[in-house]
Amino acid sequence: MIRLQGVHKAFGANRVLRGVDLEIPEGETLTIIGGSGTGKSVTLKLMVGLLRPDHGRIWVDDTETTFLNEDKLFEEQKKFGFLFQGAALFDSLTVAENILFGVRNLRPELLANARGVVEQKLGFVGLKPEVALLKPAELSGGMKKRVGLARAIAHEPKYILYDEPTTGLDPIMSDVINELILSLQERLKVTSIVVTHDMKSTYKVSNRIAMLHEGRIVAEGTPREIQSSENPLVKQFITGSSQGPIQMAVRHA
Amino acid sequence: MFHNPVAFVGRRLLGWARTLGGVVVLVQKTVYWLFKARPDVRNTAIQMNEIGVRSFPVTSLTALFTGMVLALQTGYSFRKVFNEPLYVGTVVGLSLLKELGPVLTALVVAGRVGAAIAAELGTMNVTEQIDALYTLGTNPVRYLVVPRFLACLVMVPLLTVYADLIGILGGFGIAHWRLGIPAPVFWDEINAIGLEDGFHGLIKSVAFALIIVITACYKGIRCQGGAEGVGQATTSTVVVSMVMVLVSDYFLSSLLVSLGVG
Ligand SMILES: Nc1ncnc2c1ncn2[C@@H]1O[C@H](COP(=O)(O)OP(=O)(O)O)[C@@H](O)[C@H]1O
Ligand SMILES: [Mg+2]
């Protein structure tokens, strides 16, 4: 279980999160939706401890991680796999070295069968073992995302965080990624938090949806509840209309 | 900015204080990881090659021609004054060992290595690779900063010694073949230079290495805002570290001289 309580986070004068409350029970797939720049990535980074909240508290299982020192936080971080928006593969390492990177630090016992780990994880994300020897620069966008996912699950984490897993991919590749998220959920029984503004993907993968707007969670519910929501913010967002209470800055001052 | 000069100055001061604080924290973390865990041998070796070995050609060229021009200028200037090219060996040797060797090497390294470090770490930062390191159980300071720190600290002084030698050889070539100074005269003057003059230069080169590597790592790790941010981080690393090398050179020299080192 992951729990956020009254979490605030600002960067200088930019108050990104202003009291976020969220609870993600075991086995659930929660999707956080919201416009660009509303702080979705920041929320994910707070959960793993990449960022620290200014106010509020964060729990991972029974441990409050808000003020943990780096060594103790490291123990909690082992429980997470993070798929970054641009995959964030290490350019200088091969695909296999990328996949084993976290295993080496977090689950060294698995290294006895390093080759097996690489092939199994690549298989999970639908890639052939030959890919293992390529460098990230030789991969297409969709393949990068899949390798990023293989790397994120290699140390067998309990929680998987997906930052815009389908952004920038063609519709078919997006669906492939959605299927992967679903199959990981079924096969590995992981708890997932997906951040996206792709509604098709949201409906497909989520048990529950939360909408982030102006630093707070403004709506929360099952996909069905969100789809039939009367909340004007939600209605505008899921229909993708420029008319409504959410005002996007067309030009920044 | 023009209506309220007090606020402007205040903001600037706060900005500097924040930067200084950030630098201190980075240095503290670097030293912590330097002693807490065995440094990453593979990465350190890669960086030593990148920083040291691959800076050889440009350092050689810089040092060789600097030594040559020093000998030429001293020779002709002294010939005007004394009718004879006196003290060429002494001037070339002392200038190189105490000033030009360390400073020119540092400037070359700042341009070549400082820029590369800032660009590489900056790119890793804006593409979230540094965050990825954290989530995969690796401290970025340990994995990225410590190897570069060690490599600079070892390689910059070595490059400096090498630049001193090449520069003196260049100076000797001109002194001997162009100015007609007998070889024993030149080398006797070089041999007369004290060990502490060499130390003077080496101590400074260690300080310059620290300035360059810390500036570059700080700018790279703190870099924000995509490709543009990486460009800015790179440029400002070169400018800031070059200026800091030149300014600190004066103060370090005067400190070392007052301590009797050189
Ligand atoms: N490390 C950081 N330093 C400064 N500002 C940041 C940082 N990370 C995010 N921000 C700012 O926080 C806001 C929310 O960012 P983000 O969470 O990435 O949005 P999104 O919802 O699109 O993922 C943006 O305005 C961004 O500029
Ligand atoms: Mg984002």
The model's confidence at residue A74, banded by pLDDT at 50, 70 and 90, is: confident
Count other Cβ atoms within 10 Å, centred on residue B14: 10
Q: Which of A136, A140, A133 has the alpha carbon at shortest distance from A92?
A: A136
The mean per-residue pLDDT over the stretch A196-217 comes to 94
CB contact under 8 A, A50 and B131: yes
Question: Contact at 8 Å (CB) between A208 and A202?
Answer: no
Task: Confirm or reject contact between A110 and chain B (CB < 8 A).
Answer: no
Q: Which of B150, B136, B149 has the alpha carbon at shortest distance from B221?
A: B149
At residue B1, the pLDDT reads: 53
Cβ(A16) to ligand 1 under 6 A?
Answer: yes
> Which of A72, A92, A153, A164 would best serve as a mutation to test chain B binding (most B beta carbons within 10 A)?
A92
As a whole number of angstroms, the distance between CA B229 and CA B203 comes to 34
Size of interface A-B (CB pairs under 8 A): 48
The amino acid occupying position B249 is: D
**Ligand 1 centroid from CA A14, angstroms:** 9
Residue A82: list chain B partners with CB under 8 A: 131-132, 135
Tens-digit pLDDT profile for residues A7-40: 999 998 999 999 999 999 999 999 999 999 999 9
At residue A32, the pLDDT reads: 96
Pick B137's closest partner by Cβ from A49, A74, A88: A74
Q: Pairing mode, if any, of strands A159-163 and A80-83?
A: parallel
CA dihedral sign of residues B143, B144, B147, B149:
negative
Provide CB contacts within 8 A for B57, sequence distance 6+.
Answer: none
Cβ(A197) to ligand 1 under 6 A?
Answer: no
Tens-digit pLDDT profile for residues B19-51: 899 999 999 999 999 998 888 899 999 999 999
At residue A221, the pLDDT reads: 95
Residue A91: list chain B partners with CB under 8 A: 129
For B68-123, give the DSSP string.
HHHHHHHHHHHHHHHSS--SHHHHHHHIIIIIIHHHHHHHHHIIIIIHHHHHHHHH
State in Å, rounded, how far the first CA of chain A is from the last one: 41
Please state the pTM of the whole predicted model.
0.90
Q: pLDDT 10s digit of each residue in chain B, 262 long?
A: 567 888 889 989 998 898 899 999 999 999 999 998 888 899 999 999 999 899 999 999 999 999 999 999 999 999 999 888 889 999 999 999 999 999 999 999 999 999 999 999 999 999 999 999 999 999 999 999 999 999 999 999 999 999 999 999 999 999 999 999 999 999 999 999 989 999 999 999 999 999 999 999 999 999 988 999 999 999 999 999 999 999 999 999 999 999 988 8
Q: Please tell me whether residue A7 adopts helix, strand or coil conformation.
A: strand
As a whole number of angstroms, the distance between CA B99 and CA B102 comes to 6
Distance from CA of A116 to the nearest CA of B (A): 19
Alpha helices for B101-194 (secondary structure H) = 101-109, 115-126, 129-135, 140, 146-173, 183-191
Do you know the residue count of chain A? 253
Least confident of A67-76, A81-90, B144-153: A67-76
Pick B131's closest partner by Cβ from A88, A89, A152: A88
At residue A188, the pLDDT reads: 85
CB contact under 8 A, B129 and A89: yes
CB contact under 8 A, B128 and A86: yes
As a whole number of angstroms, the distance between CA B223 and CA A250 comes to 26
The model's confidence at residue A253, banded by pLDDT at 50, 70 and 90, is: very low
**The Cα angle at residue A102 between residues A98 and A105, in degrees rounded to 5:** 130
- Which phi and psi angles does A159 have, rounded to 5°? -120, 135
ipTM for the assembly = 0.91
CB contact under 8 A, B136 and A89: no
At residue B39, the pLDDT reads: 85
Backbone φ/ψ region at B202: left (φ over 0), alpha (ψ -120 to 50), beta: alpha
Task: Confirm or reject contact between A99 and chain B (CB < 8 A).
Answer: no
Annotated domain spans of chain B? 41-259
The amino acid occupying position B69 is: V
